[in-house]
Structure 1
């Protein structure tokens, strides 16, 4: 038990350290990874009939997905933001349904959707990230 708590504390401190030094792109990657981990944990809890654990894990996954939705920048690409907002809303509805039905197949489906988004996000080059940061800053300051 002590060893498990130690590992959990290490992971938590490691995550805090990673977030403290992360650029916005990395923060989104960490959020997506966190959502995937919570969904996997929720699946395990369903398999073990750990209903309290299931509720905590899936609630956390929904909160992370809501954070991803809140991080969307409408100024950059409004059509893409609309599509992602709809997809994130769909995911949270599916997680709720999976929780009620105790259906891990639905969670697998949501995890597949997140993996697709994360895969595309992970493909963004450093040069493209820098260009996007500059464009966002110009849009916010009104300079061109």
Structure 2
């Protein structure tokens, strides 16, 4: 193993340990913000790879964003305490997943930008709540409305 590879491996290990420590000590609100940050980064990488023509990397980045939204944000919703708001967020997450799927399938950077805007808005709302120190047990009060376009056409593994 070369010195450069050894340094990269050490830095990767350090980064993983640092992330694990951050996650273990983070409040629930901060964890949600971290999930949004991860999804935002993945969408941005997907857009960059789309622009550069790197199809495999584009697909991997968009798939990562879909996983964060579906397996992180959507699954963590508390539908009993969150009520209608949690239901609206779930619908919005399904909408974003569908838009990301379409963006990946048809190389639509505009759809990536649209989802990116939604994610940034949601992250900003959570950050303002988290910074204020009043982390609610349910989602923030204002979430973007789910557009009616493509309603019912989502075919990403779940109906």
Return the TM-score normalized by structure 1. Answer: 0.82
Question: What CA distance in whole angstroms lies between the structure 1 residues aligned with 2:96 and 2:11?
Answer: 30
Is 1:114 the counterpart of 2:119? The answer is: yes
Return the TM-score normalized by structure 2. Answer: 0.75
User: Which structure 1 residue ranges, 5 or more long, are not aligned?
Assistant: 136-144
Equivalence for 1:139: none
Equivalence for 1:51: 55
User: Which structure 2 residue ranges, 5 or more long, are not aligned?
Assistant: 139-159
Dislocated runs of 4+, deviation >6 Å: none
Is 1:23 the counterpart of 2:31? The answer is: no
Q: Would the aligned equivalents of 2:30 and 2:127 in 1 still touch at CA under 8 Å?
A: no
Equivalence for 1:83: 88
Equivalence for 2:97: 92
Q: Would the aligned equivalents of 2:66 and 2:97 in 1 still touch at CA under 8 Å?
A: yes
Is 1:61 the counterpart of 2:32? The answer is: no
- 1:72-108 deviation digits (Å, cap 9, x = unpaired): 1112221101110010000000000000111111101
- 1:25-79 deviation digits (Å, cap 9, x = unpaired): 1111110000000001111111111111111111110000011011111122211
Q: CA RMSD in A?
A: 1.9
Is 1:13 the counterpart of 2:52? The answer is: no
> Would you tell me which structure has more helix in proportion to its own residues?
1
